Amino acid sequence: MASTNNQAVLDWVDEQIALMQPEKVVWIDGSKAQQEQLREEACHTGELHKLNQEKLPGCYLHRSDPNDVARVESRTFICCDKQENAGPTNNWMHPDEMYPKLRKLFNGSMKDKALYVIPYSMGVVGSPFAKYGFELTDSIYVVLSMAIMTRVGQEVLDALGDSPDFIKGIHSNKDINPDERYIVQFPEDNTIMSINSGYGGNVLQGKKCFSLRIASHLGKQEGWLAEHMLILGVQNPKGEVRYIAAAFPSACGKTNLAMIIPPAGYQKDGWKAWCVGDDIAWIRTGEDGRFWAANPEYGFFGVAPGTNVESNPNALATTHKDTIFINVALNLQDDTVWWEKLDKKPPENALDWLGNPWNGDCATTKGAHPNSRFTSPITNCPCVSPEFENPQGVPLSAIVFGGRRAKTAPLVYQSRDWNHGVFVGSIMASETTAASTGKVGVVRRDPMAMLPFCGYHMADYWQHWLDTGKATENRPKIFNVNWFRTDENGEFIWPGFGENLRVLEWILRRAFDDVDAQVSPIGYLPNTKDINIEGIDLTEEQLSGLLNIDKDLWKEEVENIREFYADFNGKVPAELWAQLEQLEHNLNS
């Protein structure tokens, strides 16, 4: 069992024990033996189901309550002293009101249960990026998942030593009552409390709660960035590896891009791609003035449906061992798992994600929940970057923003400079998938893909981006991509998936001033000759269509952005308003 003499930790844990009154307290030490014992216990109680250990060694299935299958933004709060510091995009309640409310809910919530103390590190233990935290939980599923998603155990306690600088988190499943479900961050106290949920996105506190909501606030104070970004290394035929961090709203293929497989012709020429992270990037300015990024996580919490040998063979391979599956279908024939679009052969003798008998008839009921997940160690990934554990992180050459736009955004463009790039991030948006019917869908703005994850006022966050870039000349260049332009029939024009490397190639050439571009009202656009379309089913005319700017649509966009900015209580940085005016001016001249 893990141990520490850190008095601040011991006092805080004692306080929580007094509050939640568990029957016993177990410190998680990170050992294989303890994990195994917990897995056995969870299988015994039905919290986990052991899958076919020959086909899926180390793999288990967990089902969350049917009322508890996704993140709940409406129950997620940022609680700080002044509401204006949480901003208009977060739910807010004063800590003086929220703490008593939560303490009442947590009071006695672990009677007759065990309390597990998980010491965990976000980032390589001992690295300049690392931040340490504790999650106190009554759920073995949480313990085992945190042990995949983060670094846990004695090594964290040792690295923390007697420092009082740690994130304090408590979680209780309680009775999974959705009306009393809370996911609460107190950024001013580095504290997280979640209750009445057992779904990963709400309760694996290292992920969104700490690494984005709390960490974005820490980053603001300490001068770094906590971002909802993948990190990808692209290796060219000369053997040079260049790193890109990219933010996308959900349903834009972020995990697929993080594990991209170069097209066959590129592979033949020696191109490779390396995954450093699929969801979160912590970015610090190095002594050389470059931006250095690290993935603070240790695992993937990926969406299962749609993952298959074609869409993402690397993700699929990653799930074949040491994985906890959540809310997928169970194939009773051989005790393996199945989800929609895994293959065309749904099992006929199965249990669906609810645990009900299921005969593979997807037309009637789904086998897996659409938000069913896999929790797998990143080190399982066939394309995991050799730099993944580098304590210094990796130097970024480009930052990429993206969204799903049927007509507006071109395939790719480059911002004119840092401030313009921050503007491009602040106006990020996706359309609801009406795109597939050829109609322009409803635009949802999701600045830097951080809308549900920014732990303070979004406009202050934009100012922080402006300031962080201003402090160094060596910052990465900023780009925007859109894989989702559609033709008059609503069909996607760009082939996507591995072919996206063709666009990344241009981005990296621009990052190293290796190719010219055209000036346009919205930024720099590629010359069509500079995007390699050899070997894909796309004409030069189609490519030039993908790069076309429809000024009328962009003028509507300007109006839409103006309305969006107006919602931020007058706090949008003057620099971003100036960028909006510049855009309007460019479109009119």
Residues with a catalytic annotation lie at 252
Do 383 and 275 meet the contact criterion of CB atoms below 8 Å apart?
yes
Q: Are strands 350-351 and 357-358 parallel, antiparallel or unpaired?
A: antiparallel
Q: Which does 182 bind (CB under 5 to 8 A by kind): Mn ion, ligand OXD, none?
A: none
Residue with tokens 């603070």: 296
Q: Which is nearer to ligand OXD, 304 or 580 (CB)?
A: 304
Do 2 and 30 meet the contact criterion of CB atoms below 8 Å apart?
yes
Do 374 and 319 meet the contact criterion of CB atoms below 8 Å apart?
yes
Q: Supply the minimum distance, in Å, between the C-beta of residue 147 and Mn ion.
A: 20
Number of residues that bind ligand OXD (CB under 6 A): 5
Q: Supply the minimum distance, in Å, between the C-beta of residue 532 and ligand OXD.
A: 31
Q: Is 447 in the site for ligand OXD (CB under 6 A)?
A: no
Q: Which of 22, 30, 201, 523 binds ligand OXD (CB under 6 A)?
A: 201
Supply φ then ψ for residue 191, to 5 degrees. Answer: -125, 140
Q: Is 135 in the site for Mn ion (CB under 5 A)?
A: no
Q: Is 279 in the site for Mn ion (CB under 5 A)?
A: yes
Q: Is 370 in the site for ligand OXD (CB under 6 A)?
A: no
Nearest-angstrom CA–CA distance, 508 and 366: 41
Q: Which is nearer to ligand OXD, 235 or 250 (CB)?
A: 250
Q: Is 227 in the site for Mn ion (CB under 5 A)?
A: no
Q: Which does 201 bind (CB under 5 to 8 A by kind): Mn ion, ligand OXD, none?
A: ligand OXD
Write the CA distances from 357 to 12, 106, 329, 348, integer angstroms: 46, 36, 10, 10
Nearest-angstrom CA–CA distance, 495 and 498: 9
Q: Are strands 477-481 and 443-445 parallel, antiparallel or unpaired?
A: unpaired
**Which residue, judged by CB position, is nearest to Mn ion in the bound state?**
279
Nearest to 291 by CA among 477, 510, 476: 476
Q: Which is nearer to ligand OXD, 282 or 554 (CB)?
A: 282
Residues numbered 62 to 81 that lie near ligand OXD (CB under 6 A) are: 71
Q: Which one of the spans 58-66, 210-218, 279-287, 559-567 is the region binding Mn ion (CB under 5 A)?
A: 279-287
Per-residue contact flags (x/-) with ligand OXD for residues 155 to 194, judged by CB under 6 A: ----------------------------------------
Residues numbered 495 to 524 that lie near ligand OXD (CB under 6 A) are: none
Q: Which one of the spans 63-71, 127-135, 274-282, 473-481 is the region binding Mn ion (CB under 5 A)?
A: 274-282
Per-residue contact flags (x/-) with ligand OXD for residues 241 to 260, judged by CB under 6 A: ---------x----------
For 23, counting Cβ atoms within 10 Å of its Cβ (0-12 exposed, 13-18 middle, 19+ buried), the class is: exposed
Nearest-angstrom CA–CA distance, 105 and 22: 14
Q: Supply the minimum distance, in Å, between the C-beta of residue 202 and ligand OXD.
A: 10
Do 153 and 29 meet the contact criterion of CB atoms below 8 Å apart?
yes
Question: For residue 267, how many C-alpha atoms fall within 13 Å in the half-sphere facing its CB?
Answer: 8
Do 184 and 192 meet the contact criterion of CB atoms below 8 Å apart?
yes
Do 350 and 359 meet the contact criterion of CB atoms below 8 Å apart?
yes
Q: Which does 274 bind (CB under 5 to 8 A by kind): ligand OXD, Mn ion, none?
A: none
Q: Which of 279, 340, 431, 460 binds ligand OXD (CB under 6 A)?
A: 279
Binding-site ranges for Mn ion (CB under 5 A):
279
Residues that bind ligand OXD (CB under 6 A): 71, 201, 250, 279, 301
